[in-house]
Amino acid sequence: MQIDYYLATISPFTYLAGTEPAEIAAKYGATLNYKPLDIIGLFARTGGTPPKDRHESRREYRLQEMRRTAAARDMPINLQPAHWPTNPAPSSYALIAAAADGTGDVAALLAGLTRACWAEERDIADDAVIADCLAAAGFDRELASRGMMAGAEQYARNLEDAVAAGAFGAPFFIVGEERFWGVDRLGQLDAHLAATA
């Protein structure tokens, strides 16, 4: 089985998913394809609205949902991090390079990058922060700089793939024709894989 995992390294809900998508995939012997993308570009293409442009009631609800989800998952979160929004491309390129490289733990890298943004007040567009996250997950610190061109190309393709596949947010999981949007759908993803394994 294959799970296409559309994600944004600056998404709080990608952060809150943690390593659970990888754990679910491993439980069923499924392949998890990490597909980081430009979430604002995805919103523009699929009828979404960037958080800063949403109605005040939607912005307030989003913060409440983040707080409650973090508490339920026992994860620290800063609802207004110092380095958000930031350019997600560099961290996305690093994740793409890491997935292709395969020497470390991609799930740990994604968790480290998103945690840096949402819990550690670090700028994940900064090369040094990315290098630290790569090293902590078992990758070469310089991996991202070597894979920049390929990463940029794949990053653009991931957005096109997401639109074509029917994804419109992050995290978003696609298994065949089944689509699961959000950290709160991980249980449904697990149940679907259990039923089809």
Q: Check whether the bond before 85 is cis (ω within 30° of 0).
A: yes
pLDDT at 146: 87
Task: Judge: domain 2-196, CATH 3.40.30.10.
Answer: yes
Q: Name, in order, each residue with C-beta under 8 angstroms of 164's C-beta and a sequence gap of 6 or more.
A: none
The owner of tokens 């292709």 is 100
Q: Are 185 and 16 in contact (CB under 8 A)?
A: no
DSSP class per residue in 37-97: --HHHHHHHHT---GGGS-HHHHHHHHHHHHHHHHHTT----SS-TT-S---HHHHHHHHH
As given in the structure block, the two tokens for residue 136 are 């902590």
Instruction: Supply φ then ψ for residue 8, to 5 degrees.
Output: -130, 130
CA distance 175 to 28: 13
- The average confidence (pLDDT) of the chain is 97
Strand 178-181 relative to strand 172-175, pairing: antiparallel
Is residue 197 pLDDT above 90, yes or no? no
Is residue 18 pLDDT above 90, yes or no? yes
> In a 3-state reduction of DSSP, which class is residue 29?
coil
Q: Write down the domain spans for the chain.
A: 2-196
pLDDT at 52: 94
Q: What is the pLDDT of residues 136-153, one digit of tens each?
A: 999 999 998 887 889 999
Q: Are 149 and 143 in contact (CB under 8 A)?
A: no
| Closest C-alpha to 111, from 11, 15, 13, 26 | 15
What is the number of other CB atoms lying within 10 angstroms of the CB of residue 32?
A: 20
Q: What is the pLDDT of residues 57-109, one digit of tens each?
A: 999 999 999 999 999 999 999 999 999 999 999 999 999 999 999 999 999 99
What is the number of other CB atoms lying within 10 angstroms of the CB of residue 31?
A: 9
What pTM was computed for the model? 0.97
